Amino acid sequence: MATWFDESRLDDDAVLQIGDGPLRRLAETGARVRRDAGDAREATLEAVRRAEELARPRAVVAAGPDSRLLRAVLEPWCPVPFVAWPGPALPGWAGSLDLVVVLAPDGSDTGTASAVAEAVRRGCQVVVACPPGSLVADHAAGRWSTILPTTTRDPLATAVIVLDYLHRVSLGPEADAEQVADALDQVAIECSPHRDLAVNPAKMTAIALADANPLVWGGSVLAARAARRVAESIRRASGRTALAGDAEHLLPVLEATRPRDVFDDPFADPGGDLRPMLLVLDDGAQDPVVREQRGRLQAAAAARGVRVETVTTDAPSEVARYASLLLSGTYAAEYLRIGLVED
């Protein structure tokens, strides 16, 4: 069956009503951050008080599958060695001098529970964000353990809770939950299904994605992580190729693209190969390396007639900017899914 994109579906109330579930969940992202932050407030303050009574940890180990987000945020900031350890265990050297932090949004992962139990057995300081009564929470019981309770099972909300704790104990940058939630609410307003194509950036991005194989790039560490997540959402929504990578990974694809021919008939071969499109996630990073890489990518795209779309954010903190870019890209992927139809 041939698949094509019907942009009129993005402003069709009947179609949008059918897809209301995923769109509503995206719109509620900010509310989930606020809810989990509120539920964990007392436990976070208690964990901070406990940390003030102890010496600064020798190292911070982020355990569990979601540990890479913490690494992206903390590596440039953390004043002690930081290690992300996504496997079901801990580094052999981790012990009572070290802090182990764990993100467990669902709380049912057996590998994460095993890592938490190992941390408790070794006498590590342990801070776990997970649902109370979950498998991970049961394995976290210990003298030096603190559970930051979560209820929404949202990975981003869970990460914000742990990042807020680490900021309060001077181990990470600012990650104020209210700032993050405000940034997410702003994206939800701008990308609402009730806003038509002319003023909805996510719908416009979805239209650009419709006839392309996207190359998603973010310059900073956090923007690059958002790019990988957005590319994953696009693949899931469309079943098409979507690549995310560093500039040196994407440049060969752009440079190998056939220059656009103004005489090409877009309707002559509807089943033909889709051209690439460069989707830039710009969090405002002004590092010279980032500017240079962005310039090279845009120049290569211009030379081959490749379309470039940019998603921007003016959120006040690094974590809020990451959350904003991620939600904007996820909205675009969802509108892409809604617009694609099969004959």
126-168 tens-digit pLDDT: 999 999 999 999 999 988 899 999 999 999 999 999 999 999 9
Residue 272 confidence (pLDDT): 54
Label the pairing between strands 3-5 and 60-63: unpaired
Residue 76 confidence (pLDDT): 83
Nearest residue to 159 via CA among 234, 230, 74: 74
**Dihedral angle at the C-alpha atoms of 325, 328, 334, 340, nearest 10 degrees?**
-100
Q: Where are the domains of the chain?
A: 3-29+180-342, 41-149
H/E run at residue 130: strand 125-130
Per-residue pLDDT tens digits for 234-249: 999 999 899 999 999 9
Per-residue pLDDT tens digits for 51-74: 988 889 999 999 888 888 899 899
H/E run at residue 83: strand 82-85
In the predicted model, is pLDDT for residue 194 greater than 50?
yes
Residue 271 confidence (pLDDT): 46
The secondary structure of residue 198, as a DSSP letter, is: G
Its pTM surpasses 0.85:
yes
Residue 264 confidence (pLDDT): 63
59-73, 227-241, 293-307, 320-334, range with the lowest pLDDT: 59-73
Class of domain 41-149: alpha beta
Tell me how crowded residue 73 is: count the other CB atoms within 10 A of its CB: 26
**Partners of 342 in beta bridges:** 3
Q: Does 41-149 match 3-29+180-342 at the fold level?
A: yes
Tell me how crowded residue 86 is: count the other CB atoms within 10 A of its CB: 15
Residue 118: which pLDDT band, with cuts at 50, 70 and 90?
very high
User: Do the Cβ atoms of 96 and 117 come closer than 8 Å?
Assistant: no
- Give CA 149 to chain center in angstroms: 21
Residue 1 confidence (pLDDT): 57
- Give the mean pLDDT of the chain: 92
Per-residue pLDDT tens digits for 253-272: 999 999 876 666 555 554 45
Residue 237 confidence (pLDDT): 94
CATH 3.40.50.10490, domain 3-29+180-342, yes or no: yes
Residue 59 confidence (pLDDT): 96
Residue 55 confidence (pLDDT): 87
